């Protein structure tokens, strides 16, 4: 493992951890601009999180320490998953850079939030937690199959090796495109975005994620918001990695490392703008139609996996 490669990886992960809220801010800014409003600037999520971190944290009387631990462990699980994604070809990733481990870390993150939501003892927390668990139960198998489709053609479950295989055109383009479509649907569902969930609504009949975290406040809410931004950034990195195979930037030295950081920021900003455009034109589907959409994602992932294996 070269020292430059390690530095490139650490710099890339740090860029994602620092810039992930920027993607959310860019999405909201794009939506506001498309709706004809001036909107808050893309850095607003940082100010919101700073404000929340200084506020007092309150907890429902019926809650247990699980309520406090939920957001913390949920965000930590997503951070671990991000460190498992290589930032460029040839750069090291964490030893747990495995499709199954990443899928399970994302599920673990959702489970901690669900438990914290249930622990509030309120009806809203329970409703949100049950809805979130329904989405997670349907989305996680599809995510696992999509990640296996990404890695199967390289005869490994290691994401780092699979991305190198994609770079050397060992994975068929058609299979990759089908899996990308499945991953986009899953990213929207897993991150509580339209058309599965409306992140800006607080209507009791339609809330999923927001109902679950309604009782959280102060630093806990800041952690939940940050965790959501990280999860969205993780999906974006995987999708972009499938579409544009990562280049071996670490071999370029310090310039390559700087370029890698710049590319991460560009990916997050462009991803935020595209998500904002998509959400402006999307409408939320009824919660009972969500299984239809997630089954389509599951079947697409299976089909992509089948096509990839058949061509290999």
Partner 1 sequence: MSGLTFALAAISALASLLLVWEKSVSGSAVIYAVQAACVAGIALAGARDAGLLVLAIAVVALLAKAIVLPIALRRTVARAGSSIVVDASVHTPAALLVAFALIAVGFLAIGSVSAPAGLALGETLVGLWLVASRRALLSQVVGLMAAENGAALLMVVLAGEQGALVEGLLLLEAVAIPLALLALAALVRRAHGSADTSLLRSLSGNRDEG
Give residues in contact with partner 1 (CB under 8 A).
Answer: 174, 178, 291-292, 295-296, 298-300, 302-303, 306-307, 310-311
- Rounded-to-integer distance, Cα 17 and Cα 23, Å: 11
| Least CB distance to partner 1 at residue 222 (A) | 37
| Least CB distance to partner 1 at residue 296 (A) | 5
Q: Between the CA of residue 6 and those of 93, 160, 240, 254, what are the distances in Å? A: 9, 14, 21, 12
| Least CB distance to partner 1 at residue 185 (A) | 12
| Least CB distance to partner 1 at residue 106 (A) | 22
- Pick 120 or 290: Cβ nearer partner 1: 290
Sign of CA dihedral 118, 119, 123, 125: negative
DSSP state of 289: G
- Pick 15 or 307: Cβ nearer partner 1: 307
- Rounded-to-integer distance, Cα 218 and Cα 280, Å: 29
| Least CB distance to partner 1 at residue 215 (A) | 32
| Least CB distance to partner 1 at residue 298 (A) | 8
- Rounded-to-integer distance, Cα 187 and Cα 4, Å: 32
- Pick 7 or 181: Cβ nearer partner 1: 181
C-alpha dihedral, 100 to 196 to 82 to 105, nearest 10°? -40
- Pick 129 or 305: Cβ nearer partner 1: 305
Both tokens assigned to 38: 């001036």
Instruction: Decide if 282 contacts 195 (C-beta within 8 A).
Output: yes
- Pick 18 or 299: Cβ nearer partner 1: 299
- Pick 52 or 150: Cβ nearer partner 1: 150
| Least CB distance to partner 1 at residue 182 (A) | 11
Nearest C-alpha neighbor of 238 from the set 173, 182, 192: 182
Angle between helices 173-190 and 218-243 (to 10 degrees): 170
- Pick 202 or 312: Cβ nearer partner 1: 312
How far from each other are the two terminal CA atoms of the chain, in whole angstroms? 30
Buried (b) or exposed (e) across 285-311, using 16+ Cβ within 10 A? eebeebeebbeebbebbbbbbebbeee
């Amino acid at each position: 493992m070269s020292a430059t490669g390690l530095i490139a990886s650490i710099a890339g992960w740090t860029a994602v951890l620092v810039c992930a809220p920027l993607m959310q801010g860019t999405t909201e800014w794009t939506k506001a601009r498309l709706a004809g409003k001036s909107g808050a600037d893309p850095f607003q999520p940082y100010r919101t999180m700073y404000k929340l971190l200084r506020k007092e944290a309150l907890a429902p009387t019926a809650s247990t320490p699980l309520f406090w631990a939920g957001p913390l462990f949920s965000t930590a699980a997503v951070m671990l998953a991000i460190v498992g994604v290589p930032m460029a070809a040839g750069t090291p990733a964490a030893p747990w850079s495995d499709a199954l481990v990443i899928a399970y870390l994302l599920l673990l993150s959702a489970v901690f939030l669900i438990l914290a939501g249930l622990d509030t003892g309120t009806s809203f927390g329970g409703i949100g937690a049950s809805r979130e668990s329904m989405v997670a139960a349907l989305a996680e198998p599809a995510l696992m199959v999509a990640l296996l489709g990404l890695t199967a053609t390289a005869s490994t479950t290691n994401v780092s090796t699979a991305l190198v295989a994609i770079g050397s055109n060992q994975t068929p383009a058609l299979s990759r495109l089908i899996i990308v479509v499945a991953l986009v649907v899953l990213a929207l569902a897993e991150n509580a975005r339209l058309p599965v969930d409306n992140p800006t609504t607080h209507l009791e009949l339609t809330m999923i994620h927001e109902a679950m975290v309604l009782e959280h406040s102060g630093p806990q809410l800041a952690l939940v918001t940050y965790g959501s931004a990280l999860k969205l950034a993780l999906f974006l990195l995987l999708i972009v990695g499938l579409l544009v195979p990562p280049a071996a930037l670490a071999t370029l030295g310090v310039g390559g490392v700087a370029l890698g950081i710049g590319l991460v920021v560009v990916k997050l900003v462009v991803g935020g703008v595209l998500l904002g455009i998509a959400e402006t034109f999307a409408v939320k589907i009824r919660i009972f139609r969500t299984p239809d959409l997630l089954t389509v994602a599951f079947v697409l992932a299976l089909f992509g996996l089948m096509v990839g294996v058949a061509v290999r």
